[in-house]
Structure 1
């Protein structure tokens, strides 16, 4: 993933519309330490920070359709990849400073034109499969003077002018998404606080209606029979805890405890597979 991001930035710097001084420069991703002394003019992109972007974190899972079914996967993390961009010249004295500043300014102006890197500007695994979310960039959002003093000191190099480029990527999702069955229909059940009733449906293991099932409330010794849609209903029943027994053709007898309340009047009975 990171090597393809390097290649994408390198292609962006050298594409036809870029400033000519950028197109003529070399592009390096090496650590700019005391042993880094490029002879030709060079733009260096040093990847020094990779961290999750918690602001863009989402708890909403990804859902995709595959044939007649759906698959779901946890939302992937968003990762900020931050580069330190510096310019390097092989010339001496003021000529070196002038060339480096010219390159640095051209790079800053050019990269700032691309707040989003579209698919055509992405390479390898960043392009195929395509990124789930847009690949965004932020230019010169970090201070590279005082905050980078320790960085240059650790590398044994005098401080240099530079700016940051942060690219936000989405790593590939988990390889084994969870399959989901498609929604065939939506059923809306209503309940009334003024005229409460203990209602529900008798369903088999495939969630198909079971008509003609005998539904009994054992504690009250009352029973009814489910209709063609598997529905049953008890009206003259006080709120309380009960045991419901279901007897249906081709199914074993089934019992389930229920808590019948004003806020819990609907209780479906799902029979186990034979």
Structure 2
């Protein structure tokens, strides 16, 4: 599922990025970045946190009518928040790498802000046709305790970052057949039983 989310984000960036020749990477942004196979300039999406989104939790059931006329019932999917750290990596041989990094990060930010949910045309693998849609946003809050500590742990120099989150629907419940579809309601109104005195 996470590999499908990565492929989805890559499709989004590759299709809508206004700058050409940009590589999309999901490698760890440590002191070894870029790994072999990643050509700069690049945008790195580092998945650093996965947790259930309790605000979107629901106990509702979804009913589906089968061709046979039977109804199956299933609990709504769990909602899982996936948090990414997004960084821009310019070509170091460029005349002004710092300026290129900011230009690249700004272009990614505008692209991500354009979409409140991932458009269906970019969904890949298991995410294709997924309902409900995938809400996405650049977040002010980070799931990291301290960004400075993060870069120290990564062994790399601090970089400007975007915190980006996508909420997945994860189907974890089995459906159960509950019976034939109810197509009409009958209400009988009448007098009560006569009593003899």
Which ranges in structure 1 are unaligned for 5 or more consecutive residues?
191-196, 198-232, 237-274
**Cα distance in 2, alignment partners of residues 50 and 162 from structure 1:** 18
Q: Is the 8 A contact 1:45 1:84 kept in 2?
A: yes
Deviating 4+ runs (over 6 angstroms): none
Aligned pairs (5 A) from 1:40-189 = 40-67=40-67, 68-91=69-92, 95-127=96-128, 130-143=129-142, 147-174=146-173, 176-181=174-179, 182-188=181-187
Shift of 1:140: 3.6
Q: Which has the larger radius of gyration?
A: 1
Shift of 1:171: 1.4
**Cα distance in 2, alignment partners of residues 27 and 13 from structure 1:** 7
- TM-score between the two structures when normalised by the length of structure 2: 0.86
- Over 3 Å counting, the alpha-carbon distance change for 1:234 and 1:33 in structure 2 is farther
Look up the SS of the partner of 1:117 in the other structure: coil
Q: Is the 8 A contact 2:138 2:165 kept in 1?
A: yes
Does 1 or 2 have the higher relative contact order (CA < 8 Å, sep 6+)?
2
Shift of 1:113: 0.5
**Cα distance in 2, alignment partners of residues 177 and 145 from structure 1:** 37
- Over 3 Å counting, the alpha-carbon distance change for 1:93 and 1:140 in structure 2 is farther
Which ranges in structure 2 are unaligned for 5 or more consecutive residues?
none
| CA deviation vs aligned residue, 1:205-257 (integer Å, no higher than 9, x gap) | xxxxxxxxxxxxxxxxxxxxxxxxxxxx4869xxxxxxxxxxxxxxxxxxxxx
- TM-score between the two structures when normalised by the length of structure 1: 0.63
Size of the aligned set, in residue pairs, is 191
Root mean square deviation of aligned Cα: 2.7
| CA deviation vs aligned residue, 1:75-112 (integer Å, no higher than 9, x gap) | 11111111100011231697111111110000001111
| CA deviation vs aligned residue, 1:170-190 (integer Å, no higher than 9, x gap) | 01353x411122215434478
Which residue does the alignment assign to 1:27? 24
